[in-house]
Each structure stands twice: as structure tokens, then as C-alpha cells.
Amino acid sequence: MRRFDTREIRVARRTTSRAINRQTVLELIRTHQPISRAGLARVMGLHRSAVGLIVAELMTEGLIREGRTGEASRGRKPTLLHLDTRGRCAVAADVRATRTLLVLTDLTGHELTPLSSFPTECDPDAFVADLARRVRELLAGHPDAGSCEGLGVAMSGMLDRTGTTVVHAPALGWRDVPITEPLSHALGLPVVMENAAKACALAQLWATRKDVPTPGDIVFVSVSDGVGGGVIVGGEVLRGRHNVAGEFGHMLISIDGPPCACGANGCWEMYVSNLATLSRYVGRPYLPRRPLPAELSQLTVDDLAVRARSGDVKALTAVHTTARYLGLGLATIVNTLDPDRVYVSGEITNAWDLVEGAVRAGMSERTLVAAAADTEIVVVQPDEHPRLRGAAALVGGPAFVSSR
């Protein structure tokens, strides 16, 4: 797969390589659009004529286009440049244990259709057939979206290094299930799959909306039914030898802790997942793989936040305890990876005003360097759909990373 590497921008200042300057122009237009040729030349420290040649080439290839004219204090008004997302689209799928979400986007991740959601088929063959049928229907219903560049899949589970096979998805009960090849065969389209939390981390790197990505190493922690993680170091997803780097949910909190779905005891997710928080509230031990007690199946972390705000001390204690464990785990992440920024997503972020103090206190308790306790934490709200953004970025990102 082609590389995402925002550091190429820095490299380009030290080289005259035309290919790298091309990629830099694309990256700058993506993050600063609309921008003029003169603006590009200024940021890149290149002569206008050199930028003009690259721009002309990218326009001929249909990757960028001219838009309206900008303001100028004197002389001719500059024509502003945009990425050309017209006539091309992507499909993004967020596959969770219970439901799958699907949306059609342009190549910068903007949604072109409302989200659709349907139960996830647990049988792999049925899953592939069902998802392929729904993607075909979605595309057939929107012929004006243009040609589809591919399907991006954010998958709840661990993937092999090639990203084609689900090695283990405990909640779906899948082991060694090939997904992208049968899906691609059924659809006649490229299919790119990524672990959901790694996809979320990628989406922050390849910010597909107006937000300009901030440089630096980042960690993404997603807290929901389980806890997932993704790490970006040096502009690339950290995978490790077995593509399991970033599986923070199974960090050890206590060897005597409750049994986890992974077979071990006392994993972090047994203390901070939504079910852990809800179990704490109703005073029940949290046992994965058992049917949910009736009082938990209707309750959500959002409900708990509402109750905590209205003075329910038990609810406030439950979310505060989760927040403390969240902070303790984040301290371990900061001590081992020392990232520039940590993104946290999941329902607990809807109660961030209630829990941030306890998260910070938990971090301060365990970080080795005082300044590390102040590592920036960026909350990603559930309605931002980070997993779908990540899935869209799997297709849209490489489409604008020049390797032609």
C-alpha cells in the first residue's frame, strides 16, 4: 500500500526531488485549500515557475482543479486551487459486533448520503454477501456520485499484517477469516480494511475535513464495548511484528482482576469499557461472554452521565472510577510511547466535563515525568463517527498520495 507520510513536507525542503515536491503540493492543497500558486511557492520556498509546472501536471491528471479567485492587495487576483473530488467517491463501512454502519463519501471523507445501519452478519460468508449487496445498492442509488474508488472497512478485531484477513475478532467469534479478497471479488472494487482503532488514528493523521492535521506522534484510544488503540509514529501507523501494536485494552491493571474475553485477568478494558462502568453502577461483577443481566441491557453510559448530572451519587462514582482507571492506563501509554497527543473517543467522552479531572489525576499519579501528565488529550465525540472517517480515509488518503 502507498504510504501516508506527512513528514515528506519537511524532507522536500532538503531535496529537489520532483516526486516529493509533487506530493508536497498535493498535501498542502489538501490541508490549506483553497490556496494560490503563489501561496504554495511561499510555503514551499520554491520558485513560482517550479510550482506552476507541478500544478499544471496535477491538473492534467485530474487530481486538483481551479476554483474562485482570491484577494490580492495589488495586481492580478490569484486563482485558488482545490483537490478535485468531483466524479469520484468512496464507500466507508464501520463493522461492529452488533451493527455495521455504511456511508458514501467523496474522496476527502465528506458524507454524500445519510448513514445506514444494519445488523452485522456473524457468519463470514453471509457477512461478505450482505455487505457487498448493500454497497452495490448504495452505489446504484447514487450514480451522480461518480466512479467509486473503493470500499474502506474499519473492522472490530485484529488483522494480519497484510490487512486482508481478520486474525481474531472475539466479539464476532472470527478467527483467520479472509475478508478483503472475497469482498473485492463480489464487488469488483478495491477493498481496504484496517483495525477500527488504527483507522481512527489514521483519520486523525489524514484529517479529511477542514481541520488541518497537527504534526507529531499520536495515540488514539477508543473506549466502547471493548478498548481499542492505534499509534502513529513518524507519520505512519505503528503495527509491530504481528500488527497488534496498540492493543492497549489488554494492558494489565491487576493480576487478580476480573476475567477478560481474551482469556487473561485484569485487563484495562475490564475497568474502563462501557459494560465495566455500567456493571459498577448496578453493583454487579462484570463477566464477559455471559448474557447481560436485565438491568444492564437497557442502560447506557449516556444514561449514567445524565443521572450523574442530576445528582445520582452512585452514577457519579461509577463514571469517576472509570475515569481514574482511564487516567492510570493513559499514564502507562504516555510512559511507554510519550506521544505528542492522545485522542480519546467513546461514550464516556459525553461526560468529559464530569470526568476530566479524575482522568488527569489518574495520569498524574503514574506518569514518570511531571510534564508528561500534561500530555494533550483531545476528545473525539461519538457523533464525529471517527471509525467511518477512518474507513473513508483508507480509500481517500492514498488517492491523493502521489505515487504515479
With CB under 5 A as the rule, give the number of residues binding Zn ion. 5
> Among residues 104, 158, 267, 391, which is the contact residue for Zn ion, using CB under 5 A?
267
Going by C-alpha positions, the residue among 21, 47, 20, 43 that lies closest to residue 33 is: 43
Please pick, from the candidates 262, 282, 372, 379, the single residue that binds Zn ion as defined by CB under 5 A: 262
Q: C-alpha cell of 321? A: 472510577
Angle at 303 between CA 350 and CA 292, to 5 degrees: 115
Find the shortest distance in angstroms from Cβ 269 to Zn ion. 6
Of the listed pieces 156-164, 183-191, 258-266, 299-307, which binds Zn ion according to CB under 5 A? Answer: 258-266
- Tell me the CA distances in angstroms from 199 to 135, 152, 367, one per residue in order: 20, 10, 27
**In the complex, minimum distance from the CB of residue 170 to Zn ion, in angstroms, rounded to a whole number:** 9
**C-beta closer to Zn ion: residue 250 or 307:** 250
DSSP letters along 103-157, please?
EEEETTS-BSS--EEEEPPSSHHHHHHHHHHHHHHHHHT-GGG-EEEEEEEEESS
The H or E element spanning position 396 is helix 386-399
C-alpha to C-alpha distance for 228 and 248, rounded to whole angstroms: 6
Q: Which is nearer to Zn ion, 90 or 253 (CB)?
A: 253
Q: Considering the complex, state which of residue 194 and residue 247 has its C-beta at the smaller distance from Zn ion.
A: 247
* Minimum CB–partner distance for residue 96 and Zn ion (Å): 18
**Which one, of 141, 146, 150, 228, lies nearest residue 183 by Cα?**
150
254 or 317: CB nearest Zn ion: 254
Minimum CB separation of residue 267 from Zn ion in Å reads 3
Following DSSP, what letter does each residue of 322-371 receive, concatenated? HHHHHHHHHHHHHHHH--SEEEEEEGGGGGHHHHHHHHHHHHHHH-SSGG
- Fill in the DSSP letter of residue 382: G
Q: Interacting stretch for Zn ion, rule CB under 5 A, among 59-67, 178-186, 194-202, 263-271? A: 263-271
Q: Please tell me the distance from the alpha carbon of residue 247 to that of residue 263, in angstroms, as a whole number.
A: 15
Q: At closest approach, how far in Å is the CB of 247 from Zn ion?
A: 9
Over the window 226 to 255, marking each residue x when it contacts Zn ion by CB under 5 A and - when it does not, the resulting string is: ------------------------x-----
Q: Rounded to the nearest whole angstrom, what is the least distance from the CB of residue 277 to Zn ion in the complex?
A: 17
Instruction: Tell the smallest beta-carbon distance from residue 57 to Zn ion (Å).
Output: 50
Interacting stretch for Zn ion, rule CB under 5 A, among 70-78, 190-198, 219-227, 262-270?
262-270
Which of 260, 316, 359, 373 binds Zn ion (CB under 5 A)? It is: 260
Nearest to Zn ion of 4, 271 (CB atom): 271
Between CA 203 and CA 393 the distance in angstroms is: 6
Binding string to Zn ion for residues 61 to 100, with x set by CB under 5 A, is what? ----------------------------------------
Interacting positions 152-211 with Zn ion (CB under 5 A): none
Beta partners for residue 166, in sequence order: 159, 177
Crossing angle of the two packed helices 274-282 and 301-309, in degrees rounded to 10: 50
Which residues partner with 103 through β-bridges?
Answer: 92
Query: Rule CB under 5 A: which residues touch Zn ion?
Result: 250, 260, 262, 264, 267
